[in-house]
């Protein structure tokens, strides 16, 4: 029997899902997780809207809490105009949140650990907020790159910095989510693989000693749950912030 090795990155490798149909259209295992996330969100709404009770049940209360949380985030961050972007922010937030949470379960693919996925989402947010900025202010939106109240001779330095800072938004937005999710899952895999190596190398003693990485993984599970919630929130609040900049220019 070959000695176990740690394959920390294998969990991120893409295959095709949904059987032969998926193979025909390159529907990947990460898309399966996305589909699951979307189905769960829609199912939550379907069950939450069943009773439409004055005093909500559990599922309805959950959906209401999500609704009001994102709604308040939009209105507080963007202002009254935030209501128009609320469905978009809610879709992004719930999609990333469910993606992060699904990824925490064994055998489920964490699609937010793929830079292509997070970068696509971040680029969409970036392009959309920029489009909103030009839609609301016309070419006056370019004044966004000229900081107010600085000496004129500093502008040749500051304007490029502002532009670079603006252009790097999708990078930081996507890398933050991707790196957090990847790091957590790699650490999980490393500690779990370490348990196998200990047991294979030191027999019963190794099996007993592997309780340490197991404990670490348990602690890591709590941390990863926090990270999953937090990163979805961070992505959504930054989306709101960028939209605020586009609408209000400061």
Partner 1 sequence: MRQLSIALLLALAPSAAFADGEMPQMDFSNPLTLDQVFWMAVIVVVLYLLLSRWGLPQMGKVLENRAAVIARDLAAARAAKQEADRAVALLTATLASARANAQAEVAKAVADAKAEATAKAATLNAALDAKLAEAEVRINAARNAAMAAIKPVAAEAAGSMLVKLTGSAPAHDELIRRVDDALAMRKAA
Binding mask 134-173 for partner 1 (x = CB under 8 A): ---------------------------x---x--x--xx-
- Quote the CA–CA distance of 156 and 230 in Å, as a whole number: 37
C-beta closer to partner 1: residue 15 or 135: 15
Residue 13 in the binding site for partner 1 (CB under 8 A)? yes
Alpha helices in 79-210 (DSSP H): 82-103, 115-137, 155-167, 169-209
Return the range that interacts with partner 1 (CB under 8 A); candidates 110-118, 140-148, 188-196, 209-217: 110-118
C-beta closer to partner 1: residue 47 or 233: 47
Instruction: Tell me which of 77, 129, 130, 182 binds partner 1, using CB under 8 A.
Output: 182
Instruction: Output Rg (C-alpha) for the chain, integer angstroms.
Output: 22
Instruction: Tell me which of 47, 69, 86, 233 binds partner 1, using CB under 8 A.
Output: 86
Left, alpha or beta for 19 (phi > 0: left; psi -120 to 50: alpha)?
Answer: left
Number of residues located near partner 1, criterion CB under 8 A: 53
Residue 199 in the binding site for partner 1 (CB under 8 A)? no
Of 242, 222, 189, 234, give the one whose Cα is nearest residue 97.
234
Contact 249, 102 (CB under 8 A): no
Residue 52 in the binding site for partner 1 (CB under 8 A)? yes
């Amino acid at each position: 029997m070959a000695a176990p090795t740690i394959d920390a990155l294998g969990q991120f490798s893409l295959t095709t899902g949904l059987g032969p149909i998926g193979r025909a259209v390159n529907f990947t295992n990460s898309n399966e997780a996305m589909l699951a996330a979307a189905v769960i969100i829609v199912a939550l709404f379907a069950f939450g809207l069943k009773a439409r009770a004055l005093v909500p049940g559990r599922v309805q209360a959950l959906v209401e809490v999500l609704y009001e949380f994102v709604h308040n985030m939009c209105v507080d961050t963007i202002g009254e105009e935030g209501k128009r972007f609320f469905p978009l922010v809610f879709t992004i937030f719930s999609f990333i949140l469910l993606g992060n949470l699904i990824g925490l379960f064994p055998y489920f693919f964490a699609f937010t650990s793929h830079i292509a996925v997070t970068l696509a989402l971040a680029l969409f947010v970036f392009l959309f907020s920029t489009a909103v900025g030009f839609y609301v202010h016309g070419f006056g939106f370019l004044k966004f790159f000229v900081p107010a109240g600085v000496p004129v001779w500093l502008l040749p330095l500051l304007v490029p910095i502002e532009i670079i800072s603006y252009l790097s938004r999708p990078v930081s937005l996507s890398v933050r989510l991707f790196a957090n999710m990847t790091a957590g899952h790699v650490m999980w895999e490393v500690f779990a693989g370490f348990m196998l190596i200990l047991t294979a190398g030191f027999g019963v003693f190794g099996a007993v000693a592997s309780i340490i990485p197991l404990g670490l993984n348990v602690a890591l599970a709590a941390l990863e749950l926090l990270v999953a919630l937090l990163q979805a929130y961070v992505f959504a609040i930054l989306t709101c912030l960028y939209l605020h900049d586009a609408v209000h220019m400061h």
